[in-house]
């Protein structure tokens, strides 16, 4: 008979709670430093290897609890692979420690097998996170993301090398000391950056605890050789064990939540920029200044200086990309503004000014102004007989005849339907009537239709000259008087 779900949940929590308590006791034991040097080394690496094995087990059980085809499944499969690699390296470290617990590798945790395991496992994790699809909408966003990534990767690599120099000189083991901080720091960034992107295949247990664990491991490997050489390996053991218990807890929590079905992946809002690269650059320059003031231009200063130069170049490239993007956005905005202005003030069928544009121009006019209000006669029968396409053709030809036979200072407009208006530039009084007579003759000419037929429409015109505030209304009344007199007539307002 199976146990109730609540009982199973409490039982599954016993192991990690016990592991946390054991870690706390061992860390106190390591830091007090009263157990000699052999026993702490054996206890540290034996416990660490056990925790790493537990991490792999919990992660594999979490994978088994995931739905087929779940996007996060690929990430956790890689996590299981990396955990198994870490476990192999840790168990070899245990064997080396049992063989010689006072060796430098046993006291500092920088054994070759463990270092190789850390590097290979880190490469697996970095690879799966680097290839995990992120929700970027454009090539520019992908470019900016990779430039940000390159900035921080360069910065953390320089910082890792910086803190490793002294230990390398003391221990004489370049690969064992340098690889640890660099790989661990890169893993920390990759996990954190993917989590902050809002599309991570994991939740805060991995997104926050993972980078913190990597920082602890990087610190332990950086300080390990020097502390071991001086007979003070306690902090190294405490840092390493802290890293392992954090990873064990993260794996257990993911397993526990997937098993219970309480899983909600993060959906953090995506920002168009990231402050992380600038923070990394600031750290580099701060470290460079501090080194120059305290140590002068030594090897450490050159490492940070080169890293700062490279990061500055990448940040400048990132800024240039942003400037180009801003210029493109401004050009797109101006183009859209022009299009919207055209749509708002132009008649879409005829290309003439629309009512809003005509009224705006009229309002801007000062002094007496001449206005023609034109209504096409017999336009409705054309629509009824030949269809709306024919009616549109008539309107377009009427608009072209107006446009082609007016001076540059005149403004023809379509007010709506078959009604047109012309705002006339100042001219002698008899010039207004001459324009009206010419337009009535042009508009009365036959119009070819798409069907091959022709249609003839005439125009009733109202002419008014006066102040802008009243002239349109006066011209409208004159136009209706012209229509009542017959088709193709002109009425001039008194």
What is the domain-level CATH number for residue 398?
A: 3.30.70.270
Last residue of a domain, one of 227, 244, 270: 270
How far is Cα 65 from Cα 262, in angstroms, rounded to an integer? 12
Task: Verify that 238 and 371 share a domain, yes or no.
Answer: no
Task: Verify that 258 and 365 share a domain, yes or no.
Answer: no
* Tokens describing residue 245: 């218990």
Domain of residue 168, residue span: 5-270
**Relative orientation angle of helices 379-386 and 388-404, to the nearest 10 degrees:** 140
Give ∠ CA 101-234-290 in degrees, rounded to 5: 125
Last residue of a domain, one of 242, 270, 298: 270
Task: Verify that 359 and 263 share a domain, yes or no.
Answer: no
Q: What b/e string do you get for 205-240 counting C-beta neighbours within 10 Å, with b at 16 or more?
A: bbbebbbbbbbbbbbbbbbbbbbbeeeebbbbbbbb
Task: Verify that 266 and 362 share a domain, yes or no.
Answer: no
Q: Is residue 209 part of a domain?
A: yes
Task: Verify that 87 and 204 share a domain, yes or no.
Answer: yes
Task: Verify that 366 and 239 share a domain, yes or no.
Answer: no
Note whether 220 and 257 are within 8 A (CB).
Answer: no
Q: Is residue 60 part of a domain?
A: yes
Q: Is residue 418 part of a domain?
A: yes
Q: Is residue 147 part of a domain?
A: yes
159 Cβ partners below 8 Å, 6+ apart? 181, 185, 283, 284, 287, 304, 307
Q: Is residue 332 part of a domain?
A: no
How many domains does the chain divide into? 2
* Tokens describing residue 27: 């860390």
Name which of 103, 1, 88, 89 is nearest 42 in CA terms: 103
Which parts of 230-267 fold into alpha helices (H)?
234-260
How far is Cα 302 from Cα 371, in angstroms, rounded to an integer? 80
Taking the model in full, what pTM does it have? 0.57
Cα distances (angstroms) measured from residue 92 to each of 45, 109, 117, 157, 201: 10, 11, 10, 27, 31
Task: Verify that 376 and 230 share a domain, yes or no.
Answer: no
How far is Cα 44 from Cα 42, in angstroms, rounded to an integer? 6
Q: Is residue 65 part of a domain?
A: yes
Task: Verify that 266 and 382 share a domain, yes or no.
Answer: no
Q: Are strands 454-455 and 447-448 parallel, antiparallel or unpaired?
A: antiparallel
Q: Is residue 327 part of a domain?
A: no
Q: Is residue 291 part of a domain?
A: no
Note whether 318 and 272 are within 8 A (CB).
Answer: no
Task: Verify that 184 and 88 share a domain, yes or no.
Answer: yes
Note whether 57 and 63 are within 8 A (CB).
Answer: no
Q: What is the DSSP letter of 486?
A: -
Task: Verify that 69 and 209 share a domain, yes or no.
Answer: yes
Task: Verify that 30 and 177 share a domain, yes or no.
Answer: yes
Q: What does the pLDDT profile of the chain (494 residues) look like in tens digits?
A: 444 454 445 545 566 788 999 999 999 999 887 778 899 999 999 999 999 999 999 989 888 888 777 777 888 898 899 999 999 999 999 999 999 999 988 998 888 888 888 888 878 887 877 777 766 556 777 787 778 778 877 887 787 777 666 555 444 444 444 555 565 566 656 665 665 566 667 766 676 787 788 778 877 877 777 788 888 899 999 999 999 999 999 888 888 888 777 665 555 555 566 777 888 888 889 888 988 888 788 887 888 899 899 999 988 998 888 888 888 889 999 999 888 888 888 998 999 999 999 999 998 888 889 999 999 998 989 988 899 899 999 999 999 999 999 998 899 999 999 999 999 998 888 889 999 999 999 999 999 998 888 999 999 999 999 888 889 999 999 999 999 888 889 999 86
Cα distances (angstroms) measured from residue 277 to each of 52, 123, 165: 32, 22, 24
């Amino acid at each position: 008979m199976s146990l109730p779900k609540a009982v199973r949940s409490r039982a599954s929590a016993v192991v990690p709670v016990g592991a946390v308590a054991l870690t706390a006791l061992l860390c106190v034991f390591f830091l007090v430093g009263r157990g000699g040097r052999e026993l702490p080394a054996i206890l540290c690496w034996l416990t660490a290897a056990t925790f790493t094995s537990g991490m792999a087990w919990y992660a594999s059980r979490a994978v088994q609890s995931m739905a087929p085809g779940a996007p996060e499944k690929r990430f956790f499969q890689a996590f299981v692979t990396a955990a198994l690699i870490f476990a192999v390296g840790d168990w070899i470290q245990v064997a080396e420690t049992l063989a010689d617990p006072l060796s430098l590798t046993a006291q500092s945790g920088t054994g070759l097998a463990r270092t190789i395991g850390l590097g290979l496992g880190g490469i697996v994790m970095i690879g799966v996170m680097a290839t995990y699809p992120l929700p970027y909408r454009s090539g520019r966003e992908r470019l900016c993301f990779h430039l940000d990534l390159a900035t921080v990767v360069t910065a953390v690599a320089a910082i890792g090398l910086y803190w490793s120099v002294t230990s390398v000189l003391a221990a004489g083991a370049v690969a064992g000391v340098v690889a640890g901080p660099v790989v661990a720091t890169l893993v920390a960034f990759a996990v954190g950056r993917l989590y902050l992107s809002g599309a991570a295949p994991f939740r805060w247990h991995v997104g926050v605890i993972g980078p913190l664990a990597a920082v602890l491991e990087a610190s332990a490997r950086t300080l390990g050789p020097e502390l071991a050489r001086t007979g003070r390996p306690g902090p190294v053991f405490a840092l390493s064990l802290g890293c392992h218990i954090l990873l064990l807890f993260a794996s257990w929590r993911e397993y526990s939540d997937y098993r219970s079905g309480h899983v909600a992946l993060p959906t953090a809002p995506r920002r168009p920029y990231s402050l992380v690269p600038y923070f990394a650059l600031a750290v580099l320059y701060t470290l460079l200044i501090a080194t120059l003031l305290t140590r002068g231009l030594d090897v450490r200063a050159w490492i940070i200086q080169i890293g700062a130069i490279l990061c500055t170049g990448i940040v400048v490239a990132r800024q240039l990309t942003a400037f180009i993007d801003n210029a493109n956005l401004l050009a797109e905005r101006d183009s859209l503004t022009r299009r919207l202005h055209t749509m708002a003030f132009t008649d879409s069928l005829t290309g003439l000014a629309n009512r809003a544009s005509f009224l705006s121009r009229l309002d801007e006019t000062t002094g007496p102004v001449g206005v023609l209000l034109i209504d096409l006669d017999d336009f409705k029968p054309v629509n009824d007989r030949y269809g709306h396409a024919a009616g549109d053709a008539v309107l377009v030809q009427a608009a072209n005849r107006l446009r082609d036979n007016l001076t540059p200072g005149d403004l023809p407009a379509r007010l709506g339907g078959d009604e047109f208006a012309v705002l006339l530039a100042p001219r002698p009084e008899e010039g207004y009537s001459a324009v009206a007579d010419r337009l009535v003759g042009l508009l009365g000419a036959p119009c070819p239709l798409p069907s091959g037929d022709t249609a003839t429409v005439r125009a009733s015109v109202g002419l008014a000259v006066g102040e802008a505030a009243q002239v349109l209304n006066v011209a409208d009344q004159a136009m209706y008087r012209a229509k009542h007199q017959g088709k193709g007539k002109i009425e001039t307002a008194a």
